[in-house]
Amino acid sequence: MATTATKKETPVSMRFRNDDLTIIDRGADLLGLSRTEFMRRAALNEAQTAILNETVIRVSPEVYDAFIGAISAPATPLPPKAAERLRRSAPWDR
């Protein structure tokens, strides 16, 4: 009985202009990533964005009104302890 192994990765070949590769390589270097990992992340991000932009969520009129009310309402202040923890925490973008 023969068994077939499933591939975990599939190579993808792409062609780029040299000036495009210069920009891609600079971005990858700034993030400490290989060109391959940088391109993989960029492609996945674009695909996820396209999918999310095309996703339709259907809700009843009552649920829609509640949602609009929630996002339109003024923000409530954080409890003092939570606000202090946020001020002391490291920024997310580092």
Which CATH number is 23's domain given? 1.10.1220
Which one has a higher pLDDT value, 94 or 3?
A: 3
pLDDT, residue 94, reads 55
> Which residue stretches of the chain are H helix?
18-31, 35-54, 61-72, 80-88
Helix (H, G, I), strand (E, B) or coil at 58: coil
pLDDT, residue 5, reads 64
CB distance 80 to 72 below 8 Å: no
Do the domain assignments include residue 13? no
Burial (CB count <10 Å: 0-12, 13-18, 19+), residue 42? middle
Token pair listed for 81: 């302890």
What is the average per-residue pLDDT within 39-66?
94
Do the domain assignments include residue 26? yes
pLDDT cut 90: percent of the chain above it: 61
pLDDT, residue 1, reads 55
Do the domain assignments include residue 65? yes
Q: Find the domain containing 30 and state its range.
A: 18-72
How many structural domains are present in the chain? 1
Do the domain assignments include residue 64? yes
What is the average per-residue pLDDT within 51-79?
92
